[in-house]
Structures are given as structure tokens and as C-alpha cells.
Structure 1
């Protein structure tokens, strides 16, 4: 797939200078940037809420939290910790921003190859040794993102096996690692079809099963439609994929909207992508507000941080102000805010952005 942006030859010194002043001084947050911030902070909040109880069964969760999860629980030494879900989302976003820089500079780009390079930088933060030369710029330098927080084995093994940028994974996995990092594909896209294609191409970098890929495609499509103002039910109805994915969407919509953990568990455990998709959608449909939706998404005997992260991305678009109210409680809030800002600028296809920040986001 190719992304085309403004011709950098049209940049002049005044345009670049004006852009840099606008960028450095912090422009007033526009509605598009606010939605992107809500989505990314929402995902991080869901990730942090579910982090401590991942791998816990429901009986243990209820015993430890008889009143439900009313705040972020300490995990790895403090509350508000993010896990591999948010780490990989941020590196995916970084890769898409880098792809924008490359497209503006070269006039053509294969985003999946550039995102692959970014994910391999994340792989290095987890102690991995890629088979290709990988740069050391950007997020890889942040020590906080070098923490190992139960990364998925499929993601690790697929990245370890890759021999060239953009190469699809050779496995048959449909784990939720495809979908939990798909949000940036929707946030940077200019059409629903582009959001779907970006999700398809980038999810295939680590997971080879068609249902894992299609779950990411479905989620990116739904996020894009909601981002553009569609009601959630209409966004879900826009998806046209294989029968198992459509069945997961239908199950989420037909489940009683009581928000009970037993209802959530009837949709699965969230370990595989289509179940994670169903749980996230159900949480957004049944939740009264942002926090209530997150509580629903994580309170079950399954992959709580991933279902929380996925639901949080969607809930953050539906309730951006409520998601952003929690941002100061989250680890790496400054990084999330910066990536959200730069993703919004990249979405506009600003050639000045590519010229000014090419060193920070190299186009490869």
C-alpha cells in the first residue's frame, strides 16, 4: 500500500518557520487532536486498569475487589502502569508517523515496512535481536518503554523470525496482539478503506491467521467511523467481513447489556482476536460512561489488559474528555500526549512537519 502526501518541494522558509513556532509553542488543541488523544489515553487507561488482573480468574478478582475496580491497582511497583499493549500501540503510531515523513520526502511509501521497522525497535526494548539492522532513534530511547510487561509470545517470535521489513508473519496465530495495537491505523487514515488496509497490512506482520487479521481490520473500520462521527451501532454495521467476524460482532450486540462479568465471559476470554473484539465492543455498548465501560472490559477471567486497552481506544473516542481526565495517573503520559499530537499532525499530511521532524521520525 502507498500513502502520498504533499510535495516537500513546496516548502519555503516562512512556511517551515511558522510551522515550527506553531509546533513548539503548543497549538490550541483542535477537535481532531482531542479525539486522537482521547483514543490513545483511553487505550492506555484500559491497559493499566487490567494490567494487575491479567491471568486472574473471576473469583479471585471478586475476592480482591468486592466493590469492583474503582481505581488503577498497583502493578510492577505503582498504579497506572502500561503494558506491552500500549507500548506496541505507541511504536505502531511512531511507525505510521515515520511513513508519513517518508511519503512526503520520497513521494511514495509502503507503510507496513516502516511500521515493521518500528515494531522491531520495540522488539529490541524487550531484549530481542532482530535479523535486520534497526535504528536507535525515537521511542526506543525511552527507558520507561524498555520495561518487559508480559509481551505476547507470538509477537516476539514473529519479529524474531522476520528477515526483511514488511515481510508477513509465517504462523497461524489469531491472538489479540493483532488488534490491541490497531488504533493508530484508524487515527491516521483519510478513508475507511485506508484504515482497513493499514490494519490488514500491519497486523499481518506478526499474526498469520485470517481471523486475527480481520479482527484488526474490523476494529480499525469501527474506530474510523466513530472518529468521523458515526454512532457506534452504525459503525459496527459498516463492517463486511467473514462469517466468524460477523458472528463476533453480532454476539456483542445481542448480549444483554447488564455489564455483568458472566455476560462478558459468554463472549470469550479475549485471548484470541475475535473474542477480544467482541468484548471491547460489548463494553462500549453496555458502558454508561468511560470508566464503567473499562470496568466491564477488564472484569473477567481472561486477557484483561488487552480487552481493556481495545475497549479503551473506542471508549476514548466516545468519551474523550473523561478519558483525558485520567491522563496524569498514567505512566508515560507525556509520551502518549506527544505521539497523539504528532499523529494528528501527520494525519494532516503536513510537508512542513516532515521537513521539521525528519530527524525525530526518520522515514524508514
Structure 2
């Protein structure tokens, strides 16, 4: 089990670095161009991920920050964990040169940073509601929370912390619910839940609990439910539409009663261009994967279509002209949690930037768990 924790963290970084490609693939808007550049490598084994040519983007730097925060010895209660997350996000801004951090993240972190303005810094739970805060900045960095709270009995803790990890910078349902899904699906992978059931369990278990938590933490200033309703409905409707498209049951009873499930159903022809068209169709503004809802939908679609095939996962989650470092970071974290790294070419991860630190963080998270010896 410990190896799967390492694979989750490392493969997430691989997905990020490969999608980012020092900015040239993340911001490449031509599907034909990115496909041709990828095919010139003539095989994944020829892609040597290293610091010079394949730097980590803001996605992994912030995922590492989340992992650092949730393993701090100062954590004594929920509030202290959230304080550590906010502090880690502030500190990691020092390492954002050439990593393309998002505007919403930087604005929110600035509000919590002393000296950013003449006003007193805000606390982690004081970030204003943001009408434009539906980006994927929360979703790309919360997978490790699903490693920390992996057990089914810990779902309430997972949902609370993953929502707050997103809401610290993205105080909008589309933004922070994406963070919740990234963490929740990681926990499903560690529990060995069949990926076909993840979307259904999100609708039947995850979202109801999320709504309960949001109602419980509602206030009359920056966390009004009335401000959240529209974004909540948008996120929920996007997932319902996706599950219906892939013929995945919305009811857990229906999903579990199917003796030989035929879902998910993909189009007969579903190559690069067809996937790109679909990714754009589920996006908010045509850049597939850049929002909290489509980043996790695209990552999930890639995982379902690829199965245990690493090459297929790369081509579905990363080789597209959207926000592909984020779909790579999210989807490949789930893939690593499920399948490990045994089938992945050594060149794809052995020289990745910050590898010793990432491995160390995976060990720290695992060490913090209480797991029966026979499950380790």
C-alpha cells in the first residue's frame, strides 16, 4: 500500500510536468500541433522528464504544499490544519518563477499575505466569495488529502478538508467542489473501488455530504449559500450530464445491481480530435480542464477509457490542447494510486524535479496513518 502512495504523488507530478512541458504544451491551443510534437518522440520511453526540459508547474508545487501542510506536527485540530495549508500556499509562491500560477490563486494568497496591501491579512476562512473563482486551482492540488483520509469511515473529514483546501483560494462551488472530487476519487482508488462506480458514488454520497458541510459552515458574509446555489447547480448538472452520456447509473442501487455492466460507453471513434471536441464541450470557455468541474470530468473520462494502459492514459489525459497539466496531474494521481509505476518507463519519472521531496512527502503521509499491519 505504501508504494501506491508514492505512485500517486510521483505520477501526479509526471502528469503535470508532461502536460506543462515548460509551458509549450499547456498553452498550445492547436490539437494537431501538440499531437505531432508528442508523436515525434516515437514512444513514451523516449520522453525523459527532467528539471531542464520538463519543469513542474504550479500544480505540483501547490500539491506538495498541501502534502507538507497536512503532515505538519503543529496540526492539533481542523482549524490548525487549515492554517497550515494557507501558510504553505503563501510560502510556495516563492517557488513560482516560470511555473505559471493562476490569477485567482495568486490574488487569494495575496490577501492572506502580510504586506500585500495596506489592510490586515485575511485568515484562511475569510477569503471573499469570488464570482470568477471556478478555476481548477483547487482541484489540481488536493489529491493527497485523499491519501491522508483514505478510509471510507473518514469521508466526512476528507470532504471538509478538501473543500476548505480549495475554498482557501477558490471561494466558488465550481472551484472548491473540484478539489473535493480530486481528493475523494483518490481515496476511492486506495480503497480499490471500481472506477466505474466513482461517478455514481460522487452523486449519491459525496455531493450530499458536501452540501451538508457547506450548510453547516454557512455565514452571512463570504459563505452565503445563496451565493453558492448557481455554481453548485452548474457543477452538479455537469456531472449528471457526463454520467448520462457515458451511460453510467446515477443511482448506486442501479450501479451495484448490474451483473455485467456495459458502461461506460465511449464513441466508436474517439481519437485525439474527437476527445478534444468533447473536452471543449464540457468546459466553461473552450479551454478543456481549466475549471473545477471539467478538470475532474476530463481526468475521470481519461481514466475510464485508459484502464491500466499508461500510454493510453497519457494520450487521453495529457495530449490535448486544453489545461493538460492539470488534467495530467489529477488523472495521473488516480492512475498511480490504482496501478502503481511498474509499467511506466523509468525515463518518465526517475529524474523528475523534486523527486526526493515528493517521495518523502508520500512516506510522511503514509507514516501518519493508522493502518492494520496486514493492509500495509
Q: Work out whether the TM-score is over 0.5.
A: yes
Q: Does 1:50 pair with 2:19?
A: yes
2:127 maps to which of 141, 151, 169: 169
CA contact (8 A) 1:113 1:167 kept: no
Give the SS at the match of 1:239: helix
Work out the number of aligned pairs and report it: 294
Distance 1:251 1:310, change over 3 A: farther
**2:273 alignment counterpart:** 262
Distance 1:251 1:155 in 2: 32
Shift in Å at residue 315 of structure 1?
0.7
Unaligned runs of 5+ in 1: 1-30, 127-146, 350-364
Distance 1:324 1:154, change over 3 A: farther
Distance 1:250 1:38 in 2: 31
Alignment of 1:320-339 (within 5 A): 320-322=340-342, 325=346, 326-339=348-361
Give the SS at the match of 2:134: coil
**2:175 alignment counterpart:** 212
- After superposition, the C-alpha distances for 1:169-203 in whole angstroms (9 at most, x for unaligned) are 32221111110001011110142222222110110
1:298 maps to which of 302, 318, 323: 318
Q: Does 1:160 pair with 2:110?
A: yes
CA contact (8 A) 2:50 2:352 kept: no
Shift in Å at residue 229 of structure 1?
1.4
- TM (norm. structure 2) is 0.71
Shift in Å at residue 205 of structure 1?
0.6
Shift in Å at residue 313 of structure 1?
0.6
1:102 maps to which of 45, 67, 74: 74
CA contact (8 A) 2:165 2:179 kept: no
Give the SS at the match of 2:360: helix
Q: Does 1:203 pair with 2:166?
A: yes
Distance 1:34 1:76, change over 3 A: closer
Distance 1:68 1:254 in 2: 31
Alignment of 1:1-364 (within 5 A): 31=1, 33-52=2-21, 53-56=25-28, 57-66=30-39, 70-71=43-44, 78-98=52-72, 101-103=73-75, 106=76, 109-126=79-96, 147-162=97-112, 163-170=121-128, 171-172=130-131, 173-189=133-149, 190=151, 191-240=154-203, 241=207, 242-251=236-245, 253-256=264-267, 260-265=271-276, 266-268=278-280, 269-288=288-307, 289-322=309-342, 325=346, 326-348=348-370
Shift in Å at residue 46 of structure 1?
0.6
CA contact (8 A) 1:264 1:279 kept: no
Distance 1:237 1:185, change over 3 A: same
Give the SS at the match of 2:140: coil
CA contact (8 A) 1:54 1:304 kept: yes
Distance 1:110 1:256 in 2: 47
Unaligned runs of 5+ in 2: 113-120, 208-235, 247-263, 281-287, 372-376
CA contact (8 A) 2:50 2:353 kept: no
Runs of 4 or more above 6 Å deviation: 74-77
Distance 1:181 1:206 in 2: 12
The CA RMSD over aligned residues, in Å, is 2.6
CA contact (8 A) 1:251 1:267 kept: no
Shift in Å at residue 42 of structure 1?
1.0
Shift in Å at residue 62 of structure 1?
2.7
